[in-house]
Amino acid sequence: MNNDIEIIVGIDISKNKLDIQIQEDGQYFTCGNNIIDIGKLVEKLSSIDPSLIVLEATGGYEKGVVSALVEEKLPVAMVTPSWVRYFSKSTGTLAKTDKIDARMLFRYGRANHPPVVIVRSELQERLSVLMARRSQVSLALISEKNHLSTIAYPDVKKLIEASIENLEQQIIQLEELIAEIIDHNPELKNNEKIICSVPGAGKITAAILLADLPELGTLDHKKVAALVGVAPFNRDSGYYRGKRRIKGGRQSIRKILFMAAITAIKWNPVIKEFYERLLKRGKVKKVAIVACMHKLLTIMNAMVKAQTFWKPILSS
């Protein structure tokens, strides 16, 4: 890292192009979002030794440049686009172009110093793709089963039944591939065992956490909760006390934590007691469930960090 001058770079990403802003009044240039141009960009940025490179998550278009930058051990921070847009409006900048966005990413990085991203390994990336596909197939299977119950014509029923059989076979194959990845990696396998030792968390919960939350066990409980999107935000002003709400975060993690919390409320003595205590204090059920999601995540994060298995007395 450059100790003399803090060099910050903002990169605005689109499908075919990257807009790069180095410092406030420094060099601005563009390049293609392809392997060759990204390679040249990485070489150029490595030569200036930046303190931070800030870019937005853009639905997958950022994966190539992020992987290349991280491979060269350059400090990359990925930020939520809406945060940067709010920041831009707060400075009075209402116009929006790729060049302005790149400069705003630089300014956002200079003002807020977002944390450097922890990028998934190749195994975690593959695991994430498999888990996403399993989710897609599971939804399709539910849809087909619902269709089957409403169809009276035998020939149409036969087609739907064939589709159901095919989807069920796909899920079996996907789960075998998922298990193979985890079983052949000692670190992933050990962390899976740790997560599965928590009543309410199963292999699907563990696989999604391992794939989509590589930061698990590396951050404190507040940061990991905010990252996932289960940390409630205050809405207070003067005498007004608004409802605390959660927003943003990683959708796949929140979905699986919700299902794990529902199970844990029934079978995990620590979570069950915590949930019932919240209800007695007047919390509505949805708020209490989100609190249980938060507590489950906190417990699993601490367990993975310490590499210890479920201990009910300590967890409570």
Residues lower than pLDDT 70 in the chain: 1-4, 233-237, 240-242, 244-248, 312-316
Final residue in a domain of this structure, among 112, 138, 171: 112
Same domain, residue pair 21 and 77: yes
Same domain, residue pair 208 and 132: no
Model confidence pLDDT, tens digit, residues 32-43:
999 999 999 999
Task: Report which DSSP code applies to 13.
Answer: E
Residue 84 belongs to some domain of the structure = yes
Kindly report the CATH number assigned to the domain that includes residue 154. Answer: 1.20.58
DSSP state letters, 184-239 = T-HHHHHHHHHHHTSTT--HHHHHHHHHH-TTTTTS-HHHHHHHHT-SPBP-EETT
Q: How far is CA 9 from CA 88, 99, 113, 203, in A?
A: 16, 13, 12, 40
Domains of the chain: total: 3
Whole domain around residue 269: which residue ranges? 203-315
Q: Would you tell me the crossing angle of helices 269-280 and 285-306 to the nearest 10 degrees?
A: 150
Distance CA 117, CA 305 (A): 18
Same domain, residue pair 171 and 240: no
Predicted confidence at residue 19, as pLDDT, reads 93
Same domain, residue pair 173 and 256: no
Q: Evaluate whether 290 touches 277 at the Cβ level (below 8 Å).
A: no
Residue 262 belongs to some domain of the structure = yes
Final residue in a domain of this structure, among 112, 131, 154: 112
Predicted confidence at residue 236, as pLDDT, reads 67
Same domain, residue pair 167 and 213: no
Same domain, residue pair 83 and 167: no
The amino acid sitting at 312 is: P
Predicted confidence at residue 271, as pLDDT, reads 95
Residue 142 belongs to some domain of the structure = yes
Same domain, residue pair 287 and 308: yes
Model confidence pLDDT, tens digit, residues 132-170:
999 999 999 999 999 998 988 999 999 999 999 999 999
Predicted confidence at residue 232, as pLDDT, reads 75
Q: What is the pTM (predicted TM-score) of this model? A: 0.72
